Structure 1
Amino acid sequence: MIGDPVIRLFAQPRVGPSRGAPGARRRVHTAFSARSQTGLIGARQRGTVSDSVRPVFVLGCPRSGTTLLQLMLHAHPRIGLPPETRFVLPAYERRLGFGDLRERGNRAGLAQWITGRKETRFHELGVDAGHVAERITEGPPTLGSALAIALQAYAEEHGKIRWGDKRPAYALHVAEILRLFPDAQFIHLVRDGRDCVSSLLGMPWWHRGFHEAVATWSQVMDTTRGYARRLGSGSWHELRFEDLVADPEGQLRGVCGFLGEEYVPEMSEPYRVAGLAVPARKTWHRRTHGALDTSRAGNWATRLTPAQIALCDDVWGDRLTLARLRTGRRRPAGPRRTAALPARGGPATGRPRQTAHARLLGAST
């Protein structure tokens, strides 16, 4: 029921042109044209096209370890994943405002928006903004191509062939990513929701309390389960955080097999590249600068109260079982009760709430 406050909290933005926007259908069609103009645009420009050069997107619930996995992938000699940016989904949201990208001036405006605005965090990539803006302006007339050029510039800066991106928010926006990059491959990192919740509660940027943290994990699990079924094993790969830190080589060999790449031992030592790919301001990622720590798995048992653990069991129900996670109590997990989750510790109400889309776009994960 869309009227339920928790369901409405996670309502997805509509994909497609807005009603009443003159010429919207034509502009959107122009912005999302050929598959070959997105995922392989940089390789084609250099004359090194390969069917294996597919963009890689890492996603998951906030605080699920996606930064750790990003670093592991970035340690691969062929894969370059940047620090978390803020221009892919925001560009998609603003797509009609960029105009017809067949016009060079509109591509120049888009290039300036990507490379010149502080909120996009392009400056954290450490690449030549002027050069990237020129490539976008002179490049193909699609939004996906422009974004691919920006992301691939980071990979090229580090001598890598394959490019991609990491953001927890992508878990709720796979459809939009596929419109931009139809040949994308997705890696979903699943962490025990109770660890995600307990970690979120300690973040300086999380101000929405325990109940919304619980609802966030619920929605990510439900949404990604549907994508896993639809996309299949060629485009979707899933692994557990607990398995990754316990057996990094085994899990990363599985990831590399999915990507069509060879495993290299450096991937199991992500701390060696943390200084390059994690901005210093993100002090909450300080653990990525050290060796893998298995103690991070399962510490919810000491960080959450018994009442909080019981509520997680009741609300998540069989989601824990499907994620191969044990419940906090010995009785069988109950049915899904996301709709019964109260808002901010109080009774459920019908008041409008900020959507998860907007919330996750703004989260400094």
Structure 2
Amino acid sequence: MISKYRKQFNQEFSQDKYEQFKQSLKQKSGLEPGFRISESPIFLTNEFKNKLIDASESIISQIKALPKGTLEKAIPESCKVPNDTKQPHFFTIDFGICKNENGEIEPQLIELQAFPSLYAFQKVFEQTFCGVYPFISEIKNPMPDNEFKDSLKELILGNENPENVILLEIYPEKQKTAIDFVFTEKLLGIKTVCLTKLKKEGRKLFYENSGKLIEIKRIYNRVIFDELNRIPDLKTEFDFREDVDVTWVTHPNWFFKISKFLLPLLKHQYVPKSYFLHEFPETENLENFVLKPLFSFAGSGVNLNPTKEIINSIEDKENYILQRKVNYESVFEDINGEFSKAEIRLLYIWKENDERPILLENLARMTKAAMVNVDFNKKDAIWIGSSNAFFGEK
């Protein structure tokens, strides 16, 4: 990690600055974030960044080289949506920051998704850190803000008028990520619409704005289709499986195709060995593995210490994986001399005619708990929660 920036940040940090930081986010959005904001960014070397990029590029190449039809096997029959696309619009990869047997800090793949993360929020998050701690601007994301904005506009709006493009979510005001919806609206000039508010006429979808019905031509989809079945008495005019005249950004099928389903198929020094539960070999030691459902969100259903009794009780073993445990290294020192662990998510976009995705931003999550996820930060501590990574000198 970069000791120069860590030392300066810790010297400049104060509780007043942390409150100023949070107040700035609230003023810009009009909302309190629905998740804990870490007091600190994480500082990583360019050498570590190169390891992240090397692993990511290898993973992307391996996915592109998979036999035709492989990814389609991941989509449950009950969740297939018509008019699939050849590639996703979004691609995110999560790496744990770990230490190998030689004592070297290295990334280890945790999971990957073709689902939009907090793209708009993270850009504002990064800008806010630089505003409160100006010295960090030396190592901020080199992509100019206008290029970031134009890239997202091109991807999400296409050639459509912003009023014909919506951000779609289920009960958006109740989502922890609602602050990102606000920043997305400001960035792109689009509306956030609840799935229950959509109107359907023939093959066309509409939403109401100021008493008028507006046709929807592109949907920036933030609904996890698989979770709709868990909402009791959900009433909608539109079912995802219906064939309608809209362009999905990104298509719902990709939530399943780029998921933990891929982990047993990938090979790289920064990719922990994984198996589908029904293919787990007897030669492996169960104690060295974490049990994960294929299609869960925010760490739900993950078992850090699975037993034979637990895995034997699972009927749909093809919907689970066992992933070799990785040891997150506590390397981010706080002002009390204690250390946090972290995970970094690389946020890519994949333009419709591009061969490979483009890295736009990153998201970091810090913890002192057993699981690196903002939902598991129950401990009363500092240097935990949602954050951002800055990359600099060796």
TM over 0.5: no
TM category (shorter chain) comes to under 0.3
TM-score (normalised: structure 2)? 0.22
TM-score by length of 1: 0.23
Q: Which is strand-richer, 1 or 2?
A: 2
